Amino acid sequence: MKIRVLFINLVLLVVTNTISQTFKLKIEIENIEQKGTVYLAIYDNSTSFNQDNKNKSIDKKRWVKSIVEAVTIDGFTKSIELKKGVYAISLFVDSNDNKIIDKNFLGIPSEQYGFSNNATGFLGSPSYKDASFNLVDDLDIKISLK
């Protein structure tokens, strides 16, 4: 009987530990040309990533984590804890504090932006697949702004 209880406790400990694994994600933003406010969103699914990056009804509930902080041309570094999983990051630097990414008359962003994996898209945002990364250990990510 004692062995059975011990075994069950061991199994519960392993399962709980596996489910609640969190890792440190260090995000570094490079090539900041103007000071402003960074708007960074972390997604865990393609639907939310694609909808937000095509400016369709932006809904904060779709973000796993968001960061809104002042940045300078010296750069930006932030460390956060996330559960094990697949994520993608989308961000822009709002240099005129209007809380949106400004675009020119052709629809091309006139403020700096970037994605995890430094992914780029053809005539638009990259796919979730191109921007996604697998967080299974502590990870450092560098995003170069465009």
> Which residues, given as ranges, of the chain have pLDDT below 70?
1-20, 55-61
Nearest to 126 by CA among 112, 135, 134, 114: 114
pLDDT of residue 122: 83
Per DSSP, what are the bridge partners of residue 30?
Answer: 144
pLDDT of residue 9: 52
- CA distances for 134 relative to 97, 100, 113, 139, 143, angstroms: 32, 28, 22, 9, 16
pLDDT of residue 69: 94
To which H or E segment does residue 86 belong?
Answer: strand 85-94
| Predicted structure pTM score | 0.81
